[in-house]
Structure 1
Amino acid sequence: MKHGAVITGLTILLTAGPAFAEGQLNIYNWGNYTSPELIKKFEDTYKVKVTVTDFDSNDTALAKLKAGGHGFDIVVPSNSHVPIFIHEGVLLESRPDQMENFKNVDDRWVNVEWDKGRHYTVPWAWGSTGVIVNTKVYSGDPNTWKIIFDPPEELKGKINVLPEMLDTLGAAIKYNGGELCTDDKEILKKAHATLVAAKPNWLSMDYSNVEKYVKEDFAAGVNYSGAAFRARLQNDKLVYGYPKEGYSLWMDSAAIIKDAKNVDNAKLFLNFIMAPENAGLISSFTRYANGIKGSEAFMPEDMKTAPEVVIPADLQGPGKFDPVCSAEVQALYTRIWTDITK
């Protein structure tokens, strides 16, 4: 799109009142990750009917969008996949950096590796991928992938792992001394063997798992920090661990899909979630930080000290943002993952 057209469209977008935005908006997001209060507020403000559809992994979302005919307007990929989504031509260059509320994006999250200057995406939430354990079942050190890959007897058959390839395979790579995106054949052989040996000790590979930890259907697992926080609030026997072998930090960001049917409403939504009070609604529901300045004032007080949000000083070192793996490495990993999940 030519620069002039962007400015003209943006002027219309940001000066239009609620009546301009009547219609629909279809959001494709991770499961149990969209605040109903946020959606209601957007619907009431702009007279737009919002429909939210869930996915459980970046690869699932990408495949669906590439296939076409999906009807979605907004998607929320992880930083490790945003460049892939852009390269595959599924995201619209919607220029969030030119929107009114972009001034609220924290400087740390503007020139990010996965979307320099934010021409495609808006911060949604950020956190980590680590270990969750029920201390009533296991009282040992939670800060290790050993719980998942070489579990003690009391945890065998009670473990859940995430169906997102880079989370679980990535954990196995780190457990074996490697870094994500490595193509070191020895490391990958060890990671594959680790997964094969560990799989019989797992109960499931399930994404939507907050309630299952609360009800103690699961005693341990690979989990996201905010999901672990939400579970702990309902069951105080649950703790979240930051594996000393290495763990992933990540940010999920909202973007408009290239073949979206409701582009104007989608742009309104991106601008809407960059307002501190609305980003605060996202965090209040998901229990993750969000990347918008001033949003802390609209979050629960307990988020300021929660160990799932504030990484302990002695465990900050092993945490790294996932890089974007090359197509060749992605193909290697997919072969391993396909073998594990069959």
Structure 2
Amino acid sequence: MDFNELIKQTRGRRSLLQALGVAAVGISFGGLAACSKKGGKTLANGEEAKLNFYNWDTYIGENTLDNFKEATGVDVTMDLFDSNDVLFAKFKAGNPGYDVIVPSNDFVERMTKADMLLPLDHSLLPNKKNIDPAYINVEYDLQRKFSMPYTWLVTGIGYRKSKVSSPPDSWKVLFDSPEYAGRIAWLSEAGDMFRLYGKYLGKSVNALTPADIATIERMMIKQKPNVKKFHEDDGQDLLLKGDCDVVLEYNGDMAQAMVEDKDIDFVIPKEGSQLNSDNLCIPKGAPHPKNAHAFINYILDANVDKHITETILYPTPNTAARKLMPDSYQNNPVIFPPAEALAKCEYARFDPELQPLFEEAFTRVRAA
């Protein structure tokens, strides 16, 4: 199937929850409580033939869960969440009954430090061999002790070509210029915004100081009158509807918008950017840890991940699966930016001292 045909069937990972107005409780397919009763079929591994999955919206293949049940006999119940904060809050008082979750990179680190995740048994994950080695020994989870990579993303500038004087190549157009006043959209996540401003100022996303935060806060307040909206990861929709002309957004979302509208483009600014990765983890207290390992290993299978990627159209770290995708996906420079651009990008680390400073400063910016 061609990439353009695939794109017509897909939506962003938060779209359904946003459309339905679903907040922290998420949405349940089958209902976790209904599927947690004892007395069901027992597998050879000694566990019930059940698995409880906590995932982002539209972030799995159309038939993945049914195919897993057919292959293993395990019934999967999937609940949805729409932010890492919701995911983290769900587990603060203990695991409510989930076996596999999908936190982003900094939250893998945060949940690890909070002792919320179960170390993975790599002997039960032979399909790890399909993952690009570049995604194995990552700083937020060295040697993948607690997580397996599912997708990855990079933030950049999405823009409408007919509305800009020249292709933007710097964060300046979003962060430090009145050129596109009233036509700009920022992300609404405090940490991301401060770290990206740090990139604009020539700093590592992981090297900001309280003094830097104060400087950036002043810059944000100065630029805020030029910003039309703080968006919830739907900048591509603002471009498609014509509400904004220059937005801060993820490459996967922008690749989808570019297929729908040829006047839209995306760039990673010359200063570099922030990488994000969503990951498969087993939370401590998982009722079916062996099934959880089997499910993660299943997702890492080349053909299984290919079918997932055909649905969600995010960059996959699964080299074997990527090779099975059409050239229009494999060679898309927005989904897979050139190495020289990615070389200037970094994964954000969770910093328990700076995070509250980010949030407090951003609250002041938004109130200014």
TM-score interval (norm. to shorter): 0.7 to 0.9
Find the aligned partners of 1:264 and 1:36 in 2 and give their Cα distance: 24
Change (3 A) 1:222 1:40: farther
Find the aligned partners of 1:89 and 1:79 in 2 and give their Cα distance: 15
Q: Return the match for 1:54 from 66, 70, 81.
A: 81
Q: CA deviation at 1:43?
A: 4.5
> What is the Cα-based RMSD across aligned positions, in Å?
2.8
The percentage of counterpart residues that share the same residue type is 24
Change (3 A) 1:308 1:70: farther
Change (3 A) 1:22 1:207: same
Change (3 A) 1:312 1:118: closer
- Residue 191 (structure 1) aligns with: 216
Change (3 A) 1:191 1:68: same
Q: Return the match for 1:22 from 46, 49, 56.
A: 49
- Residue 187 (structure 2) aligns with: 162
Matched, 1:135 2:176: no
SS at match of 2:103: coil
Q: CA deviation at 1:341?
A: 4.6
Matched, 1:108 2:134: yes
Find the aligned partners of 2:347 and 2:114 in 1 and give their Cα distance: 22
- Residue 13 (structure 2) aligns with: none
TM-score (norm 1): 0.82
The one-letter amino acid paired with 2:198 is: I
Change (3 A) 1:194 1:21: farther
Contact 2:183 2:244 in 1 (8 A): yes
Change (3 A) 1:224 1:33: farther
Matched, 1:182 2:207: yes
Q: CA deviation at 1:179?
A: 1.9
Q: Return the match for 1:265 from 269, 291, 306.
A: 291
Number of aligned residues: 323
SS at match of 2:279: strand
Larger mean CA deviation between 97-106 and 120-129 belongs to 97-106
The one-letter amino acid paired with 2:324 is: F
- Residue 13 (structure 1) aligns with: none
The one-letter amino acid paired with 1:107 is: P
Contact 1:134 1:238 in 2 (8 A): yes
Q: CA deviation at 1:47?
A: 4.8
Describe the superposition over 1:86-124 as per-residue Cα deviations: whole angstroms up to 9, x where unpaired: 111221223245423223233222332222222221110
Find the aligned partners of 1:213 and 1:282 in 2 and give their Cα distance: 26
Find the aligned partners of 1:209 and 1:301 in 2 and give their Cα distance: 26
Q: CA deviation at 1:316?
A: 4.0
Q: CA deviation at 1:275?
A: 0.5
Q: CA deviation at 1:224?
A: 0.9
Describe the superposition over 1:29-50 as per-residue Cα deviations: whole angstroms up to 9, x where unpaired: 3x44333343443344445233
The one-letter amino acid paired with 2:80 is: T
Contact 1:21 1:264 in 2 (8 A): no
Change (3 A) 1:253 1:236: same
Find the aligned partners of 1:257 and 1:192 in 2 and give their Cα distance: 36
- Residue 37 (structure 2) aligns with: none
The one-letter amino acid paired with 1:164 is: E
Contact 1:95 1:118 in 2 (8 A): no
Change (3 A) 1:273 1:165: farther
- Residue 221 (structure 1) aligns with: 247
- Residue 118 (structure 2) aligns with: 92
Q: CA deviation at 1:314?
A: 5.2
Find the aligned partners of 2:263 and 2:76 in 1 and give their Cα distance: 40
The one-letter amino acid paired with 1:51 is: M
Find the aligned partners of 1:319 and 1:55 in 2 and give their Cα distance: 25
SS at match of 1:59: helix
Change (3 A) 1:239 1:267: same
TM-score (norm 2): 0.77
Q: Return the match for 1:205 from 221, 231, 234.
A: 231
- Residue 170 (structure 2) aligns with: 144
Find the aligned partners of 1:313 and 1:105 in 2 and give their Cα distance: 18
Change (3 A) 1:17 1:233: farther
Contact 2:135 2:149 in 1 (8 A): yes
Find the aligned partners of 2:223 and 2:50 in 1 and give their Cα distance: 49
SS at match of 2:188: coil
Change (3 A) 1:227 1:274: same
Change (3 A) 1:63 1:19: closer
Instruction: For 1:248-259, list aligned pairs within 5 A.
Output: 248-259=274-285
The one-letter amino acid paired with 1:318 is: K
